[in-house]
Amino acid sequence: MIGKISQPLLVIEDSDEDFEALYRVMQRQAVINPIFRCTDGDEALDFLYHNGLYSDPQTYPRPSIILLDLNLPGTDGREVLEQIKQDENLKIIPVVVFTTSSNPKDIEICYQYYVTSYILKPINIKRLVETIQSFVNYWLDIVILPDTFSK
């Protein structure tokens, strides 16, 4: 088993295929972290600020890590990252960008907003699975994340 039950992962990803690949790898590796998914930036902000459908912090806890796609419908990932990193209560949460954008401006902007890592999504499915496995091994098994249930 990998991870900690007290460290929720928020995946902000609009692609069902990419999320399914991520979820399958996590199941195969027996990840025990609770996994929450938002499919656009507005939904993610509602989750993080406990608004609307996500108003119950017991059901929708503050994540210990966020995996963020940049190219989202509505409020895009760049705007979500900006809001997270400008918020005193959220900025401590590690944000890993997981995107198809190799645009140098996107990479620079993300690091200006103190993104923790920037990972390109490979198009090749085998390479995508390997990249996800590396993410899981590093971020959920090796790295020590903050426990956030108490906040």
Asked whether residue 4 is domain-assigned, the answer is: no
Asked whether residue 149 is domain-assigned, the answer is: no
Q: Which residues contact 77 (CB under 8 A, 6 or more apart)?
A: 12, 41, 68, 69, 70, 71, 97, 99
Asked whether residue 50 is domain-assigned, the answer is: yes
Asked whether residue 1 is domain-assigned, the answer is: no
Asked whether residue 54 is domain-assigned, the answer is: yes
pLDDT tens by residue, 47-92: 999 999 999 999 999 999 999 999 999 999 999 999 999 999 999 9
How many independent structural domains does the chain possess?
A: 1
| Chain centroid, CA 133 distance in Å | 15
Return the structure tokens found at 130.
């390997």
**pTM, to two decimals:** 0.95
Using CA atoms, how far apart are residues 97 and 135, in angstroms rounded to an integer? 11
Using CA atoms, how far apart are residues 60 and 70, in angstroms rounded to an integer? 22
Return the structure tokens found at 108.
């620079």
Asked whether residue 132 is domain-assigned, the answer is: yes
Residue 26: which CATH number? 3.40.50.2300
Its domain, for residue 138, covers 9-142
pLDDT tens by residue, 83-132: 999 999 999 999 999 999 999 999 999 999 999 999 999 999 999 999 99
